[in-house]
Amino acid sequence: MKPVNLNDVSSYVEQHIGVFHQKRIQSIDSLKLTDVLKRKNPYLFKAKNVLTSEQIVKTLVDAHISSNEETIFGDWLEGLAIFINGQVYGGWKSGITGIDLEFDMEGFRHIVTIKSGPNWGNSSQIQKMKDDFKTAQKALRTSNSNLVIKAINGCCYGRDNKPDKGDYFKYCGQKFWEFISGNDQLYLEIIEPLGHKAKERNDEFQASYAQMINKFTRTFANNFCKENGDIDWERLVEFNSSIYKL
């Protein structure tokens, strides 16, 4: 083990944070109004007395962005965690299905699956993770029967006060970043580098966002509004739910 070098972490972030912002913009540019309209409950809009095309469009696009950004940034943080662990413990990106990181520490092979936050999955998804851990343990012991393995669910933020889950350990937030780096303050120290060129990157994103809202609002009005400007709720519900294609 060697101490984490914060200058190296900052350099990594500065070199790679652009990927996150690029993917944010790409997710907007590739979005189709028809796709998001089919995923949202049209009855909810009516029940909330939504009256304008822009209100509906912004709700649809914002919901997509919120969900998509969590996934994109979660993947990006996973890369950061693997980089940091590699610097400190010599860890590596695992090639085993369902496992993100492997590294050796204190006589144990640690197999880690990395999630954004603590409430990432339902019971079937958690069971799938546990099955992946068992499969990985069998695969690793095939080549080294003496290997002592610990399975870890690491979460980049949040907390879990009962980390021992029986089949695996769950480390969240400060505990996770300390676990992979040996530095109990790393969870605070990575905040500043993450803001590298954030304003100019966000300005680019906002420009694409505004264009998308304007374009979708025009398309929605042309297809789902009556001549007098009212939303044509029957047509919208038919598009969303009818067994017949419009």
pLDDT at 90: 96
Average pLDDT over residues 53-76: 91
The mean pLDDT of the chain is: 92
Average pLDDT over residues 99-105: 97
pLDDT at 6: 87
pLDDT at 141: 92
3-state secondary structure the chain: CCCCCHHHHHHHHHHHHHHHHHHHHHHHHCCCHHHHHHHCCHHHHHHCCCCCHHHHHHHHHHHHHHHHHHHHHHHHHHHHHHHHHHHHHCCEECCCCCCCEEEEECCEEEEEEEECCCCCCCHHHHHHHHHHHHHHHHHHHHHCCCCCEEEEEEECCCCCCCCECCCCEEEECHHHHHHHHCCCCHHHHCHHHHCCCHHHHHHHHHHHHHHHHHHHHHHHHHHHECCCCCECHHHHHHHHHCCCCC
pLDDT digits (tens, 9 = 90+) for 15-61: 888 888 889 889 888 889 999 899 889 999 999 999 999 999 999 99
pLDDT at 48: 93
- CA distances to 19, 114, 157 from 118, rounded to whole Å, are 24, 10, 7
pLDDT at 245: 61
Q: By C-alpha distance, which of 127, 93, 90 is closest to 111?
A: 93
Is the backbone of residue 79 left (phi > 0), alpha (psi -120 to 50) or beta? alpha
Residue 244 predicted with pLDDT over 80: no
Look up the pTM and report it: 0.84
